[in-house]
């Protein structure tokens, strides 16, 4: 009965974390470049009551043992870097990466990475994120620019009213051997970690990196229907585990009363 209490308690804790993760996924369904998360679980230790292969008193061998699991625990919250849907905006500073890769930006001297391509121009002419982080390599839009063009292979051009090129630079994007190992720090930004591996730098369309689609945004890869179904399953699992605790408590109460 005590085992049942603890197993059910770990189940409730695990389902609570699952629900928190689902809620965050749903909250960011319209966040550009957002990647949904999944909780990974593993079972806990088993208490062995009888070993498989043990000898019986009659000299025979037990074909199947007896072991009781002691619950569950979460081991990871996994970012799933599948492609999100593209939304056509026709805005010249909205860029989507079609395939693998991240934009690199600079925040307080620190290099960070993002999939969100909804860029702006700040007062100094730099291309920046919605939070003001400068795109790397930096590009200053010259005075007199009326149009910015970005090719699929990442060549950024600032054009005047006559179509003359005022400035150009090559956009670089970055990938990691293990993107799920990146540290999500909020504001659509990720920090490189040892677990993610060394960044792979290149022009869009090279070295397995994605290409750039100007006038499009990559939206969240959250599937609302899928998350709602998972939420219902999680809620039912939470309720079932809470009933397991209640039942184990009632059984303990009955056992205690038998001693009186």
Q: What is the mean pLDDT of residues 21-38?
A: 97
My answer on whether 91 and 8 are in the same domain is no
Structural domain total, the chain = 2
pTM of the entire predicted model: 0.87
My answer on whether 98 and 25 are in the same domain is no
My answer on whether 117 and 228 are in the same domain is no
User: Which of 100, 69, 85, 72 has the alpha carbon at shortest distance from 15?
Assistant: 72
Q: How far apart are CA 236 and CA 230, in angstroms?
A: 10
How would you write 32-90 as a 3-class SS string? CCCCCEEEEEEECCEEEEECCCCECCCCCECCCCEEEECCEEEEEEEECCCCCCEEECC
232-245: pLDDT as tens digits: 999 999 999 998 88
Helix (H) and strand (E) counts in the chain: 2, 20
My answer on whether 133 and 213 are in the same domain is yes
Confidence of residue 143 (pLDDT cuts 50, 70, 90): very high
My answer on whether 106 and 215 are in the same domain is yes
| β-bridge pairing 66-69 and 183-186 | unpaired
My answer on whether 237 and 187 are in the same domain is no
65-116: pLDDT as tens digits: 778 888 999 999 999 999 999 999 999 999 999 999 999 999 999 999 999 9
My answer on whether 172 and 237 are in the same domain is no
Q: Is the pLDDT of residue 5 over 60?
A: yes
My answer on whether 190 and 237 are in the same domain is no
My answer on whether 136 and 201 are in the same domain is yes
Structure tokens at 181: 């190992």
DSSP of 126-137, one letter per residue?
A: BEE-TT-PEEES
DSSP state of 18: H
In a domain, 59, yes or no: no
Burial 69-96 (b: 16+ CB within 10 A, else e): ebbbebeebebebeebeeeebeeebbbb
Q: Name the residue range of residue 18's domain.
A: 1-53+67-81+223-258
My answer on whether 74 and 92 are in the same domain is no
């Amino acid at each position: 009965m005590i085992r049942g209490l603890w197993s059910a308690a770990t189940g409730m804790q695990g389902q609570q974390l699952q629900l928190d993760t689902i809620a965050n996924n749903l909250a960011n369904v319209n966040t550009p470049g957002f990647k949904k998360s999944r909780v990974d679980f593993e079972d806990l230790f088993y208490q062995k009551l009888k070993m498989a292969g043990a000898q019986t008193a009659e000299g025979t061998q037990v074909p199947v043992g007896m072991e009781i699991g002691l619950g569950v625990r979460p081991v990871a919250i996994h970012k799933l870097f599948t492609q999100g849907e593209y939304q056509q905006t026709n805005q010249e500073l909205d860029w989507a990466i079609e395939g693998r890769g991240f934009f690199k930006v600079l925040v307080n001297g620190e290099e960070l990475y993002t999939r969100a391509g909804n860029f702006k121009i700040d007062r100094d002419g730099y291309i920046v994120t919605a939070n003001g982080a400068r795109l790397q390599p930096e590009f200053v839009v010259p005075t007199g620019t009326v149009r910015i063009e970005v090719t699929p292979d990442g060549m950024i051009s600032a054009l005047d009213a006559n179509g003359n090129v005022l400035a150009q630079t090559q956009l670089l994007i970055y990938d990691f051997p293990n993107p799920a190992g990146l540290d999500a720090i909020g504001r659509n930004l990720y920090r490189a970690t040892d677990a993610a591996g060394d960044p792979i730098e290149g022009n869009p369309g090279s070295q397995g990196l994605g290409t750039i689609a100007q006038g499009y945004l990559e939206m969240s890869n959250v599937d609302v229907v899928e998350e709602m179904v998972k939420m219902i399953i999680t809620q039912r699992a939470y309720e079932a585990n809470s009933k397991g605790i209640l039942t184990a408590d009632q059984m303990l109460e009955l056992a205690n009363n038998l001693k009186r």
